[in-house]
Structure 1
Amino acid sequence: MASRIDPHDRADSWHREWLRIADLNAARADAALAGGHAITARSNWLRAINYYQAATFVLDSTDARQQRAIESMRACARRYVAQVTPAGETVEIPWLQNHPLEGYFVPAPPTSGRTPVVVCIGDPGHRKEEYLFKVARYARERGMALLAVDLLGSGTDADFEAIVGRRDLESSISYVMNYLRTRDDVDERRIAIVGDGAGSSFAARGIALDNRFAAAVCDGGLWDIHEREFLTNRFAPAGGGIEESWPGLRFHCPVLITVGGQGWLKSDVVTDLFERLKSRHRDISLKIFDSSETAAAQAHHDNPTLANEFIFDWVADRLDRVPA
């Protein structure tokens, strides 16, 4: 496939070739399901989701081809969720007027009673479909349901700038919690959240304002604090530190911060910010993946498996400690 991508026509050929392989996997999945092979169908739908997403990377959000690829990706995601056991569902969660959140709820493996659940939400540019192939299995293998949700709503042409520019993105976190507490298959005492991406500070702000989560994995607000301190030092050198950077910061549950040692924020900067956070919140942990163990790139792109195993083991351990 890579040999067919023309460097002189990168946008068109990149999209065309990734779309072609995505369509092949989607068709293979549909054929497998028709033949009674649901496991093979699910695997191919997950691959198709990944490839459809790759096909959109070089396209502008106004490009009709991007919208068609996203529609195909969403169709594969819905088919996958409907074919897990027990069957999952596409859910709508009230948030802003005329802009509800949309999520995929993937139940835990068959069991009796209510189960713990992990919410996976990314920064404003991340689509929820990617969490089906990135992390769904790590949750299910540990007996946890997954709610994959994003901020983009149910359409393919959401006004991205209007959403990403809002000052109250963290309000979405409580709406997600409100929804989960209405479900009779969720243990409301054992709900964790994983905020993915460099923009996950909004998730940290959300859990600081909501004391109902049992555990959280996010950047702990490091990116917010780093940016605000940069502006403070640039425009008001005599300004304050963490108190002014994020007033009223209080976490009510255990928090894990994971970063790659080769990521955007240098390890010494991360460590300094973490130590100051820890002085205010004792049940907060930091894991820096260095180059020798991999998962050291930004967002752990060089070895996401290693990072996800660590993250979901930590989440499972914390949820297991919640009294019955």
Structure 2
Amino acid sequence: MDGAAWPQVREDLASTRKSAAAFLDNLEGASRSMGPREWATRWISISAAHESLGDTNRTLGYRNEAASAWLCALTTWEVAKRLLNLDSSDDEEVAARIDATVWKFHSLEQKIQHVKIECYDHYEIAALYLSGRSANTPAVICISGDGETATMLLGRLLPVVVDRGISVLVVTHDEVSRRQRGESDMLLSACLDYLSARSDVDARRIGVYGDGISAALATDFAASDRRVAAAVCDGGLWNWARMTASINWLATAAKEPNEKMMSAYRSRCLRQLKCPALVVAGGRGIVSLSEAIELERDVEGTGPVDLQLPIPRLARAPVAQVENFVTSDDRIFSWLIDKLQSHPAL
């Protein structure tokens, strides 16, 4: 593929996402002709064109076309943002454009709500709710990565979840993680209570997705609340790594932890999960490829555990690797929708 010939403005969302995925898969080759900053500039231009097309279509009264163009823009803005991060460039302007595009889409579809979820001791969680637009839909609690706003995560996920018959409640990592041990689970359970009380959500089919470091929060929550029907999480590996580091520091041990002990701990974590689990290895996640392989081995001796370990496609660039978020997000939510449709919580 000739890197100089793409990306281009695509007419529909499927083509735009296919183009973005192809670019990210071939980033190493594309980097030979231009650096991340130059490619980011090109993707910013593509994004602005999609956004402008959406604005024009809205003015002309073409609502569906406007919505499609803005969803295309959200995908391409995300590509630009990741390229700027790769180049250590300031992405505040792109982040602001993503935020603006999300609310343009909302102004047209009227599907996104700012909600306040009451927890305990008068503590409230601010969240964004995207309705699946029909009664008794499955729903997913989505927890953003560290330092990421709810709007930024929703902007990335909107092109994936819109019109797929699923509702999402997006909360930030900071809202639910700055608590003592066990409190994060209580806050997320309050989010599940909120969804269960909604008339448009099926309370038996609510899952959780933790992005980045929030995958550890998703594991703890799924283990503590049996109502969770499916979890995209870390399988307990982050907590194990922290505990091992603490033990080694206290004991000033130079040797590696006992493998049998590690395997037993991982197996115990898996048994605590009573719902299907998806552990994404590599990329922006907190589970390394080697840990995923070890976890997969442990699953074999754990008994009937519904666990999948997909490995995202990574593109090499001159200074780092970039996850193909298009392929990864599509896979994650296809898995969630499948599990929430076929494995309702008891």
TM exceeding 0.5: yes
CA shift at 1:211, angstroms? 1.4
Range 206-215 or range 19-28, more displaced: 19-28
Distance 1:225 1:297 in 2: 29
88, 91, 97: which is aligned to 2:111? 88
- The yes-or-no answer on 1:195 pairing with 2:218 is no
Shift of 1:80: 1.3
Amino acid corresponding to residue 295 of structure 1 in structure 2: R
- Distance apart, 1:29 and its partner CA: 2.7
**How far apart, CA to CA, are the structure 2 residues paired with 1:98 and 1:23?**
39
- Equivalent-residue separation in structure 2 for 1:231 and 1:312 (angstroms): 35
Say which SS state the counterpart of residue 143 (structure 1) adopts. coil
Q: Are the aligned partners of 2:102 and 2:151 in contact in 1 as well (CA < 8 Å)?
A: yes
In structure 1, what is the Cα distance between the partners aligned to 2:127 and 2:344?
31
For 1:20-99, list aligned pairs within 5 A.
25-49=50-74, 51=77, 54=81, 66=92, 70=95, 72-84=97-109, 87-94=110-117, 95=119
2:132 and 2:61 map into 1 onto residues whose CA distance is 22
Task: Give the aligned partner of residue 339 of structure 2.
Answer: 318
Q: Is the 8 A contact 2:116 2:124 kept in 1?
A: no
Hey, what does 1:270 align to over in structure 2? 292
Q: 1:257 aligns with which of 279, 288, 307?
A: 279
Q: CA RMSD in A?
A: 4.5
Describe the SS at the equivalent of 1:200: helix
Counterpart-to-counterpart distance in 1, 2:249 and 2:54: 54
Secondary structure, counterpart of 2:280 in structure 1: strand
Residue aligned with 1:129, SS: helix
Q: Which residue of 1 aligns with 2:140?
A: 118
Segment drifting more, 30-39 vs 95-104 = 95-104
Moved more, 204-213 or 259-268: 259-268
**Superposed, which structure 2 residues align to 1:123-272 within 5 Å?**
123-140=145-162, 142-151=164-173, 166-167=179-180, 168-236=183-251, 237=253, 241=262, 250-260=272-282, 265-272=287-294
Cα deviation per residue 1:38-86 (whole Å; 9 max; x = unaligned)?
23322343355463882985578xxxx94x76555333212313434xx
Q: Distance in 1 between matches of 2:97 and 2:50?
A: 11
Q: What is the TM-score when the length of structure 1 is the normalising length?
A: 0.69
Which residue pairs with 1:156 in the alignment? none
The amino acid that maps onto 1:177 is L
Deviations 1:149-200 (A, max 9, x none): 32456xxxxxxxxx76544444432122111112101111111222221441
Q: Tell me which moved more, 236-245 or 214-223.
A: 236-245
Q: What is the match of residue 24 of structure 2?
A: none
Write the distance in 1 (CA, Å) between the matches of 2:249 and 2:301.
25
In structure 1, list runs of 5 or more residues that go unmatched.
154-162
Task: Sort the Cα spacing of 1:183 and 1:201 in 2 relative to 1 into closer, same or farther, 3 A.
Answer: same
Alpha carbons 1:172, 1:206 under 8 Å: kept:
no
**Secondary structure, counterpart of 1:183 in structure 2:** coil
Structure 1 residues 152 and 31: CA distance shift in structure 2, 3 A: farther
Cα deviation, residue 26, structure 1? 4.1
Q: Distance in 2 between matches of 1:23 and 1:306?
A: 23
Mapped to 2, the partners of 1:117 and 1:190 lie a distance apart of 7
In structure 2, distance between residues paired with 1:137 and 1:19: 18
**Contact 1:103/1:147 (8 A) holds in 2:** yes
The question of whether the paired residues in 2 share the 8 Å contact of 1:117 and 1:147 is answered with yes
8 Å contact 1:261–1:288 — kept in the other structure?
A: no
On the 8 A contact 1:81/1:104 being kept in 2, the answer is no
What's the CA shift for 1:315? 2.3
Contact 1:189–1:214 (CA under 8 A) maintained in structure 2: yes
Taking the aligned partners of 1:140 and 1:208, their CA distance within structure 2 comes to: 29
* Greater helix fraction, Structure 1 or Structure 2: 2
Cα distance in 1, alignment partners of residues 327 and 48 from structure 2 = 29
Amino acid at match of 1:308: D
Q: What is the Cα deviation at residue 259 of structure 1?
A: 1.5
Q: CA deviation at 1:15?
A: 9.9
CA 1:311 to 1:205, structure 2 compared with 1: closer, same or farther past 3 Å? Answer: same
Q: Percent identity?
A: 25
**Runs of 4+ in structure 1 over 6 Å off:** 13-21, 242-249, 261-264
> Equivalent residue of 2:139, what SS?
strand
What SS is found at the alignment partner of 1:184? coil
Q: TM-score, normalised by structure 2?
A: 0.65
Change over 3 Å in CA distance of 1:99–1:25 after alignment to 2: farther
